[in-house]
Every structure is written in structure tokens, then in C-alpha cells.
Structure 1
């Protein structure tokens, strides 16, 4: 039901998640919106070892349509985001070290560094809920609110979204970089956040960053 290209593509994103050091062991998961529902990584299999045939196709109600493995325990969170945000085409969930440290401390990431604008005017914090539950899914949907490209999950990790899984992964990488820089900056003193008007300019610039200019009519 899902073409092989989509499977290879999502498996490559999963392996890159591990290569970037954003997950350890069997933690983390990635998904891709499809006409039938979503394609998602399985439960209990390390991202580095995930191949095209390991992926699971589920509909938007969570029913397995294709695949021999159990879908990720965070499938409810992915599904909720897709249902509420039709512009999202890919999702990445990580347990990256520095971003998870901020999440565990219950702290969002302010706009000290310009790259925060890759996901919004800050990296917001979704209030804690048990992993794999509808409560966590609802917390994430409320926090993203159609405004943010990523959110910290309190005492847990990071969820990043994008038009594609590749864009979601790039945002997850950016969040971890910003978290690391922010952590180090806080050791040196008390950095001032960028002014709100500059943050908004940066947010607008990131909307077209890396995208080709449309051809003139």
C-alpha cells in the first residue's frame, strides 16, 4: 500500500536520527504522512537498525494497515499532531541530551541564539504527561498550536514537525544545537534574549531559508 520510495526515505531519516546522536538505544521515533494514514517506526527497534520493511502503516485512528511489527508507543502523539495540523507531513521525536536536560528542568529555551527562530520565537515546553498516552498527545498539540516547529516535552525529550520528515529532523538538530549553546552561555553569565521585533524578523526569514525563489511569471 505504501510505495518503496516512502519506506526507504523514512528509514533513512530514522538512521540519520541515530547518526546525529539525537537518540540512544530504542528511544525516539519518526513518521511520515501518507494518503492512507501515517508510516511510523516500530516499537523496540533502535533507529540505527530500522530498515524499510520494519516500518508500520497505520490509519489516522491508529489501526495497523500494513507491517509485521508493533508501531511506536508514541503513535498516539504522532496521530494527534497530524489530525490537528494538516500542514505537517513529517514528525521526529528525540531524546537528545541538552534539549532533554532543559525539558527535565522544566525550562523552555528563550531566544538567546538566533537559531531558535528555526522553530518559532522560543522552544516552548509541553507540560508533562506519561509517555504513549492521549494526555501527552493533547499536551503536545496544545503547545505546538500551529505556531511552533518543535517543542520540548517536560521530563522527556523533543518533538519536531515539518512539511517533510527531513525538515522535522533538521529542526530537531537545530533545537539540540540551540539547547547546547544556551546551556554553555548560561554557565558564562546571564544572556539577554534577542529583542521581540528581531525575533519576528528571524522567524520570517527562516520560513524561506534554504527554499528556492519561485520563478518570475
Structure 2
């Protein structure tokens, strides 16, 4: 099995995990960079729950499909413009998750309240434009808002989360939603006590050194999808 097929398998597992946990609900898409850094594997438009590795489309960073003519998400520029500007990013997710998106419609900023969310200690910026990111100009603006951060909230729209690979993207998305949910619950009880930066810095350093939480959340994904199986899908992936 070549490396691109392995990446596609991980995307299919991540997709089914997100789908079953309500992250997608008709909207959202994920992608990953291939072994060729100028090409990505992209979820096509209207991808169903039972995604297979072969369902993901090879697209270059100019937006041209390789070997297919499937309809792609209108917000493909989210992915393309981030990959162009962030060579450290190997995977991107865009969803309309309830809890983190709510912080884009509130005066309260989403900050780490739960220890795993220390990976977001450098901030989660809010992109001020709520429109569909349907062209390169809007994609570039969102990428600029994201900057060097791991995630951004799109005001009254959704979220974008990045990782160095599919596993990290999945774990970061899971943690972002979980932290937002816990913060929302805490706010209903009264004042929120945020984690101190000194504590977050130590926790973040340990997490990034061992990648333990990323591996644990990915294991949760694999456990969830292990019985689902994977059909061959539409195409095989070859380095060209």
C-alpha cells in the first residue's frame, strides 16, 4: 500500500468518526496533503457517512482535479489557501460545530478551560467575515486570520482546524469542540476560571513532545470505525 492510499484511509476513518459524532450534519469537509506537497486529498461535495479511501479526490493547489471530475465543496479555497501559506500543515478540517461556533457569535472569547485545550494557548482568532469562503481572496483572508494558530472561528459560520497530519487534525478538532462544550457548561454555572498560561505552557509542551493525547483520540477513532469496513471507493492513489 502506497503512502497516499494510507493517507486516504485515515481521511475515511476520520470522516466516519466526525460524521457519527455530529460534526458534519450535512456541512463540512476535510483534506490532507499528499506525498506531493503541491497536491491534496479532498472530500468531494455531498460525501455520505460511509466514505471509503477511494472517495477522496486528488486536487492540486491551483484547484485542478487529478483524474476525476467530481463536484468539490464550494469552500475548497479554505483548504488551498491554508496549504499554500502553511507548509507545516498536513491536514485541514472545516465544520459548523455548535459549541465553538457559538463563541463566534458572543462577546466571550473561547479560551482553554480544559487541560487538553492547552494546545490552543496561543489563541483562537475569530475571522470577521461570515460569508462562504468560495474564492481565493476570501480563502487568503481566512488563512491570514488563522496565521500560525491551530484553529480559527469563522464569525457566525464555523471553524477551521489544522494539524501536521490527519491524526493531529482529528484530535485538535475533537479537543476544540470538547473545550467549547465544557466552557459553555461552566459559563452556565457562573464565572469561568481559565487555565493559567504557565500551567498551559507546561501541559502543551508535554502533549507535543509525547503526542499521547493525539494518539489516544486517534485510537478512539480507529476503535469507532474498525467494524465499519472500507470499500475500494472511486480511485486508487498513485504518486505521479
Query: Normalization by structure 1: what TM-score?
Result: 0.85
What's the counterpart of residue 70 of structure 1?
71
Provide Cα deviations, 1:142-163, integer angstroms capped at 9, x if missing partner. Answer: 22212x2112111111111111
Q: Which of the numbers 38, 42, 45 marks the counterpart of 2:44?
A: 42
Between Structure 1 and Structure 2, how many residues are aligned?
Answer: 208
Query: Any stretches of 5+ residues in structure 2 without a counterpart?
Result: 213-240
RMSD of Structure 2 on Structure 1 (CA): 2.2
The CA deviation at 1:31 is 0.4
SS in 2 for 1:66: coil
Q: Give the Cα–Cα distance (whole angstroms) in 2 for the partners of residues 68 and 53 of structure 1.
A: 14
Conservation of the 8 A alpha-carbon contact between 2:94 and 2:159: yes
The CA deviation at 1:132 is 2.7
CA gap 1:139/1:201 in 2 versus in 1, 3 angstroms: farther
Provide Cα deviations, 1:29-62, integer angstroms capped at 9, x if missing partner. Answer: 110101151110011223x133223221111111
The CA deviation at 1:124 is 2.4
CA gap 1:83/1:107 in 2 versus in 1, 3 angstroms: farther
SS in 2 for 1:151: strand
The CA deviation at 1:206 is 2.6
What's the counterpart of residue 141 of structure 1?
143
What's the counterpart of residue 130 of structure 1?
131
Higher relative contact order (CA 8 A, sep 6+): 2
SS in 1 for 2:66: strand
Superposition pairs of residues 115-194 of structure 1, within 5 angstroms: 115-133=116-134, 134-146=136-148, 148-194=149-195
CA gap 1:43/1:191 in 2 versus in 1, 3 angstroms: same
Superposition pairs of residues 197-216 of structure 1, within 5 angstroms: 197-210=198-211
Query: Any stretches of 5+ residues in structure 1 without a counterpart?
Result: 212-217
Query: Normalization by structure 2: what TM-score?
Result: 0.78
